[in-house]
Amino acid sequence: MNLRRMAANVHPLKFEVLAECPVSRARTSLMHLPHATVETPVFMPVGTQGAIKGVTPSQMEAMDCRIMLGNTYHLGLSPGTKVLDKAGGLHKFMSWDRALLTDSGGFQMVSLLDLTEITEEGVNFASPYDGRPLLLTPEESIRIQNTIGADIMMQLDDVVSSTTTGPRVEEAMHRTLRWLDRCIAANRRPTEQNLFPIVQGGLDADLRRRCAKEIIKRDCGGYAIGGLSGGEQKEDFWRMVHVSTEVLPNDKPRYLMGVGLPLDLVVCCALGCDMFDCVLPSRTGRFGSLLVDSGMLQVRRKTCYEDDDRPIDETCSCSTCASYSRAQLHHLFRSQEKVACSLATVHNLHYELNLMRRIRASIKAGTFPEFAINYIVGQFPKKDYPPWCVEALAAVGICLPT
């Protein structure tokens, strides 16, 4: 069976590069998907179980969010494929008519490590809900994702912690390639749903290159970079991203999984990544940490905000900043009002989506290097930049002022 031929020319994704940075590897594009046209670089909010905590789909539409992420492992357990199939897929079940991407469930090999056993067949889980044994194979992951109906599905990969070293890393890389071919063969809807392979290889540059060269032999709609942002040193993180984007093709979207810190987004756009996802804006929002260009405001903890009548960000157009002051949010968090979590999450998601708009606009204007420099200087006005950030940007021709 020729799996390359199976995957070729049937993926329902058109990737249209609009502009490229003349200095770095940043570019802005249109990614045409069955349910939406998505502008890249793009940040994808995470609705693990088909919803973002405290935020409705209509609120996400109001922010002009074009694509969100769900998790195959959790959705497969609850509500389950029977319910989703009856509803006509996750789009209808969650009342979202724009694009969706589903993670394969592979990340749970790390996040639920105590509950898993990995074999060549698949991943044996103990359900975190009731402890019953579950087997997630590449075929079962794709079956669930076909039922969910996401525009982009992820292959099931063998994920190890980003700090793991030794033979287990190479074993996981080779197994990821074998599981990719099983995922391609199992996909019942190749003309309706895209399947993205994932570059693995830990912190070994050679393994990363070898994996990337292998997965692009399968002509898929796009490619992902996985297994990072899990506790490794930033010096290792950016180098593995750089190594991967150097190999992945220019005419397909490159998805960096699990990355959402605003500084990381700016740097990794410069390194050539197009798509990002992370729970950071919603999770930090629920703890009262609010994103602004200078970093984060800790409105829940710091008493300096108890009589501050300014919005979170005077330049922000989100519904929270339009109606609530820092003092109000401080009070709501201190009073343990649940609405505070929702208001903060709305702001943080709007901030990240708008940051990507600003990045796209600067690429179109040919000013992305200046944008990146100004943004990072804004976070580090004393020019005490993190060394990894300096090195990463220098690798693609952007030099921070000293």
| Residues noted as catalytic | 103, 277
Torsion of CA 358, 68, 312, 288, to 10 degrees: -140
Residue 215: name the closest of 172, 155, 262 by CA: 155
Picking from 262, 250, 254, the residue whose alpha carbon sits closest to that of residue 352 is: 262
What amino acid is encoded at 270 in this protein?
Answer: A
Backbone angles phi, psi at 12, to 5 degrees: -85, 60
Residues 6+ apart with CB under 8 A from 253: 13, 15, 29, 31, 40, 221, 222, 223, 274, 275
Cβ-contact 45, 52 below 8 angstroms: yes
Yes or no: say if 15 and 194 are a contact pair by the CB < 8 Å rule. Answer: no
> What is the sign of the dihedral through the CA atoms of 253, 259, 264 and 265?
positive
Q: Taking each helix axis as running N to C, give the angle between helix 368-379 and helix 262-270, from 0 to 180 degrees, rounded to the nearest 10.
A: 150
* Rounded CA Rg of the chain: 21
Torsions phi, psi of 69, nearest 5?
A: -120, 140
Rounded to a whole number of angstroms, the distance between the first and last alpha carbons of the chain is 57
Give dist(CA 157, CA 128) in Å, integer: 20
Rounded Cα distance between 269 and 38, Å, is: 16
Token match 């700016």: residue? 266
Q: How far apart are CA 352 and CA 332, in angstroms?
A: 23
CA angle 380, 384, 388 (to 5 degrees): 95
Place of tokens 């990894």: 388
**Nearest in space to 218 (alpha carbons), one of 259, 165, 181:** 181
